[in-house]
Amino acid sequence: MRKRHWGIAVSFVAFVLWPVLVTMFYLWVVAADQYSSHTGFTVRSEEKGGATDLLGGLASFTAGSANTDANVLYEFIQSQEIVEKIDARLDLRSLYSTHWPKDPVFSLWPDASIEDLHWYWERVVRISYDGANGLIDLEILAFRSEDAQRVAQEIVAESQAMINKLNETAREDALRYAQADLELAIQRIKDARGALTRFRTRTQIVDPQTDIETRLGVLQNLQQQLAEALVEADILEQTTTQNDPRLIQTRQKIAVIRSRIAHERQTFANAENEVGSLGEDYPTLIAEYESLTVDLEFAEEAYRAALTAMDVAKSNALRQSRYLATYVNPTRSQSSEYPRRFVISGLTALLLVMLWGMGALVYYSLRDRR
């Protein structure tokens, strides 16, 4: 072996073999065993049906999207807020600083700040999320199996509390929107009824349609009287002279009836003929009355829909529309799984060999160019 061969061998020992041996020594001698607890849950929404279907999209205020809720929960589990809440109950610093400073790599220092604790939380709480199905799987690590299980149980409890909070917010929003819609519908129906009352007070007509029917009845009666008068006149012309007072009176009666019929017809058809002293004609009054009636009917329909929506919102507020479905309860392991000594040692050796090999190739490449 030449001098350069010894240099390569020494570099391999210094940069590969020795760090791998140190890593293995730390993992098997210094590093403390870690236990894991597994749990899994998803957010389920109540199936809607029956009366709620009558309102179509109203259920979206109270049920929401299960996947959206799972997304919120996924972010919440990784947030500093849940770390603070669980730390207040379990004292996470004392749980994870048990082996400090003997095991500084896998332990948390006792005086860690909340930001440090949040950083360490992401190391010991491993979350897997299936966005298509909304399934959340958790693996929690701790130096004792019961501690890992307790942390997992607290995460499930906090997740349920978050779902309850989302439920409460959705119920409050649904009730607030339904109440606002109901108040608006009540005001609209009051305005529509008030406008119709003012119309009747102004015109002294309860129902123009009924009034028209009454006037049509009068017109039909006049036409019937006209027909009788014409028949009577024909009979008198055939049986009496032209100067007979009865014939003259009958003809006068026919003229008066015809005049009255013409006047009644003009009252309906001509806009220039006013109704009483109102200064308005019948076509205008009928159009105004029909418009007010349509407004009232629409306001009544809106009121009934708003009242139904309010009842549905109150009914939904009495039950849980979202709930946390735990399909794997927090487990308690009997043997330690972490740290994965063989995996870490193998990856360390592979990485160092690759770095050392690239360094050796660079060295020989530069050497050959001299």
The answer on pLDDT for 335 being more than 70 is: yes
For position 282, what pLDDT does the model report? 66
Residue 313 and residue 307: Cα distance in Å, rounded? Answer: 10
pLDDT number for residue 100: 87
The DSSP string of 251-269 is HHHHHHHHHHHHHHHHHHH
Q: What is the dihedral of CA 122, 128, 130, 133, to 10 degrees?
A: -100
Q: Do residues 81 and 172 share a domain?
A: yes
37 and 155 together in one domain: yes
85/205 same-domain check: no
Indicate whether 113 and 136 sit together in one domain: yes
* Band of pLDDT at residue 271, cut at 50, 70 and 90: very low
Distance CA 362, CA 319 (A): 70
Q: How confident is the model at residue 19 (pLDDT cuts 50, 70, 90)?
A: very high
In this prediction, residue 319 carries a pLDDT of 63
166-211: per-residue pLDDT in tens? 877 777 777 888 888 888 989 998 998 888 888 888 877 777 666 6
Task: Name the DSSP letter for residue 321.
Answer: S
Of the given ranges (78-92, 103-117, 214-228), which has the lowest mean pLDDT?
214-228
- The predicted structure's pLDDT at residue 281: 66
Asked if residues 120 and 112 have their Cβ atoms less than 8 Å apart, the reply is yes
pTM for the complete prediction? 0.63
Residue at which a domain ends, from 310, 330, 348: 310
Task: Please give the mean pLDDT across all residues of the chain.
Answer: 82
pLDDT confidence of residue 53: 45
Domain carrying residue 346: 3-180+322-368
Is residue 317 one of the residues assigned to a domain?
Answer: no
Strand, helix or coil for residue 110 = coil
- Of residues 170 and 145, more confidence is placed in 145
Do 143 and 262 belong together in one domain? Answer: no
State the pLDDT at residue 57.
46
More confident call, 109 vs 204:
109
Co-location of 97 and 200 in the same domain: no
Query: Does the residue 315 lie in any domain?
Result: no
Identify which of 5, 148, 162, 157 has the alpha carbon closest to the alpha carbon of residue 74: 162
When pLDDT is averaged across residues 257-268 and rounded to a whole number, the result is 75
Above 80 in pLDDT, residue 17? Answer: yes
CA-to-CA distance for 211 and 217, rounded, in angstroms?
10
Tell which of 310, 341, 360 closes a domain.
310
Nearest to 310 by CA among 49, 46, 62: 62
Choose one of 270, 287, 310: the last residue of a domain.
310
* Domain total of the chain: 2
Residue type, 334: Q
Q: Looking at the structure, do residues 155 and 261 belong to the same domain, yes or no?
A: no
Band of residue 317 on the pLDDT scale cut at 50, 70, 90: low
Domain shared by 63 and 137, yes or no: yes
